[in-house]
Structure formats: structure tokens, C-alpha cells
Structure 1
Amino acid sequence: MQQTLKTTKMKKKYLYLLAFVIIAVLGYNSVYFKKLSDVKNANKENFDFKAYADSIYYKGILKSKKTIALTNLISSVKTNQDEAFKKYGNRLGIGNSAYFMIKSTGKIIDIKDGVYTIADEKNGVVYIDTKYIFGNALRDASGLVKLTDFKTNAQFNKVSESLNDIVRNEVVPKEIKKVKIGDSISFSGAIKLSKKQILFTDLLIIPSQIKLQ
């Protein structure tokens, strides 16, 4: 009888000890995950998207060897569409459209609400939108930023916002002050093409650079 009572007490003691260990472990994990969450949030808040976008623009886009002459791109697409899209285009996921970083030259024949109508020397009329520089065209056309580099879509899109801000508010205003209707310019920027596209006229370009020739 005494042995049974002693055994029962020992079992209870071990059960209490086990319960204490479980509670301690759970408590530690909850504190740990909370701290880990704090670190992630801190990293997100401290990330300098402006500096990152500056680097993409000045060290990446402006020096990119992947920027292709518009006339060469159109010729390549007409010759071998799949190869041209693979070699020069960038896109997220699967689809018929892709973004391309192009360059060309032409004469300004009209300016209306921030849209410059250009008589391109080899590609007919194209349009450069210097006012509504939004969306992901520049980011995606550059091919320099991957979704997997960021934890959330919001962070990924923040890169686009910062990059667009640089071009729209810092780069383009300085450059368009120097040009007027009748001037010949060189320009580079992002365009979007579809594999279903047959005609390559009236293309809209989101500029990365405009220079007076």
C-alpha cells in the first residue's frame, strides 16, 4: 500500500515537472516568435527604397547593355518572336506580354499634357509620356528586380514607386526643360509588347532618359 502511494506521488511529481517544462517551452517560443516578428518589421521599416531605386536607375538602367534599339527590337520580334521575347523582354509569370527597355532617336512634333509626340527616324510616330510615370514598366523592363528578393508584394511594388519617383520628379523635369517642338532628341525607356501584336505603330514609351541631340 505504501509502495503504491509512493509510486503515485512520484508519477504526480513527474507530471507536474513535465507540465512545467511544456509551459516554459511554449512561453519561450511565443517570446522568440514575437522578437523575430519585431526584427522583420524593423528591417522592413529601415529598408531604404529610395537608395535602392537610385542604384537600380543610375548603376543599372543607365548602364544596361540589354537596352536595345527600337528598330532592332521590332525587326527581331518580326523575325523570331519567341526568341526576341526571351532575349530582350522581361515579365512576371506566364503571359503574352512583356516589357522591353529600348532606345531610339527622333524629332519632337507635338507636346500635349506631358505626352511628347515623336517622329521616330526609323519607326514612325511614337509617344513619350513624361507626366504619368506610374506602374511597373520601368522596374520590370530593367530585369534587375525579382519578386523573390522581397517578402511581400507591397515591398516589391514600393520599388516601382521609388523608381518612378526618381524618373518623374528628378530626371525627366531637368531634361524636358532643354527641349521643345522641332528639336531632335535621343531617348530610352520601357515599352510593353504583346505576342498577339501585329502592328508596332503609336507605341507608348515610359522614359528613363531624354537628351537633346
Structure 2
Amino acid sequence: MISRQRKGITWLVITIGTLVLLYLFPLIHIVSLDDANKATAKATAAKFDPVKFVDTFWDSELLPSKSAAVDAATLVAKVKADPAKAREQHGRQVGLSQSYFYHVTGVGRVVSVEKNFIGLAISPDSEKTEVILEAGILFGNTVRDGTGLLDVNDFNNTQDFNAISTELNRRIEANVLPTLREIATVGAEVQFTGCVQVNDEDSDLQPLKVVPFIVEAK
């Protein structure tokens, strides 16, 4: 009899404990349809759209940044004379990376046309390629980081920041490079604005390798 009483008490305690836990931590949370729709809308609104971002950034900030770029002829001359001083005066570095960037604009005479690049002479009396305009498939963050207009700390995560590079490169490939190939014939003058990423000074400075985001026939 006592054993049965103890078993009964034990099951009663277990049952009460289970009911208390279910009350405090319900297995199913019921929310109104209105609240669910608001939560979904909020999550959708918070999702970063790189295409929409670049649409605005391109016209409002990137194209106007031409006025802040260093003249290509000036930079080429300074690089030839003293690369370290040129870097100190006109280069910019991002984070702890050893690579650095130039933001340049100028006019060059086409001296060579290849599949993936256009060679320009910048100096009036030069026939040598002093600037290369990249004209192939683009990779990396040259334009995103080269102007100094964008800061990773202004974005929620690095994935969003990297998506900007992808969209900028895609847009240059689709809208800028076809124009470059069309106007770039040997002897023609091309006006350009773009960015240079210097990873290796022996190969990236002479000639300067520019990813252009503005190209026009002069």
C-alpha cells in the first residue's frame, strides 16, 4: 500500500513538473498573422541589395570622384622618379594589407590593343606603354577600394561589402569595357578614370594597370 502511494506521489510530481515546464517553455509559439507579416517584411527590408546600392553609388559618388583623382601623367612621372614618394603622396592602403591603390584620371594615346588590355602612352613624346587599361574579365576589389569612398565598417558584414565589388566589376564589364574596345584603335586618344591596385611594384607600376570605370574618346 505504501509503495503504491509513493508511486502515485512520484507520478503526480512528474506530471506537475511537466505541466510547469510546458507553461514556461511552450513547444509551439502562436503569433498573429499580422505580426508574422511584419517580421517577414522587416527581414526582407534589412537584406542588402548590391545592385540597388551600386545603382545609386555609381551616379552619385563614383562618377563624380573623377575630380578627386590624381592626374595620370603626373603620377607616371612621379612613379618613374621616386615610387616611394609617389606612394606617400597619392597612394592609399586598406587595413593591414601590403598592397595599395591609386585613383587616377587622364588622357592617353593608344599604342597597343590586346585581347585583355589596351596600352596607352601618357607622355606626349612617348611611344611606350605607360598605362594599361584592363579590358578583360575583372576580379578583386580595385575599384571598390581604390577611390576611398567606401568603408567596410559602414556595412553589416563583409559578405555585403564583397558583393559590392562583384557588382562593380560586373557593371564595368557590361557597360564600360565594350565602349573602351570600340574607341581603342592605335593612335586614338582615350580619356579615362579608374583605379590601380599595386601588389608588386616591379610589375604593377611601370606600366600602371588601371581598371577604368570611365572611358571616353578624346
- Shared fold (TM-score, shorter chain, > 0.5): yes
Name the SS for the 1:160 alignment partner: helix
Instruction: Summarize the Cα distance change of 1:105–1:80 in structure 2 as closer, same or farther, 3 Å threshold.
Output: closer
Partner of 1:148: 153
Distance 1:110 1:156 in 2: 35
Q: Is the 8 A contact 2:196 2:210 kept in 1?
A: yes
Q: CA deviation at 1:89?
A: 1.4
Distance 2:117 2:64 in 1: 25
Partner of 1:102: 104
Distance 1:178 1:68 in 2: 23
Distance 1:56 1:169 in 2: 17
Q: Is the 8 A contact 2:113 2:184 kept in 1?
A: no
Q: How many residues align?
A: 195
Name the SS for the 2:68 alignment partner: coil
Partner of 1:5: none
Partner of 1:4: none
1:30-75 alpha-carbon deviations (Å, 9 max, x no partner) = xxxx99996676346x543222112222221211143111344463
Tell me which stretches of 4 or more aligned residues in structure 1 moved more than 4 Å.
14-18, 34-41
1:42 alignment partner AA: T
**Cα-Cα RMSD:** 3.8
Instruction: Summarize the Cα distance change of 1:80–1:140 in structure 2 as closer, same or farther, 3 Å threshold.
Output: closer
Distance 2:120 2:145 in 1: 24
- 2:56 counterpart of 1:51: no
Identical counterparts, % of pairs: 19
Distance 1:37 1:143 in 2: 36
Q: TM-score, normalised by structure 1?
A: 0.71
- 2:196 counterpart of 1:185: no
Name the SS for the 1:164 alignment partner: helix
Distance 2:59 2:107 in 1: 21
Instruction: Summarize the Cα distance change of 1:141–1:162 in structure 2 as closer, same or farther, 3 Å threshold.
Output: same
| Structure 1: gaps of 5 or more residues | 1-11, 29-33
Instruction: Summarize the Cα distance change of 1:36–1:63 in structure 2 as closer, same or farther, 3 Å threshold.
Output: same
Q: TM-score, normalised by structure 2?
A: 0.70
From 59, 78, 85, the equivalent of 1:79 is 85
Q: Is the 8 A contact 1:54 1:163 kept in 2?
A: no
From 155, 164, 169, the equivalent of 1:164 is 169
Partner of 1:7: none
Q: CA deviation at 1:18?
A: 5.8
Partner of 2:32: none
Partner of 2:71: 69
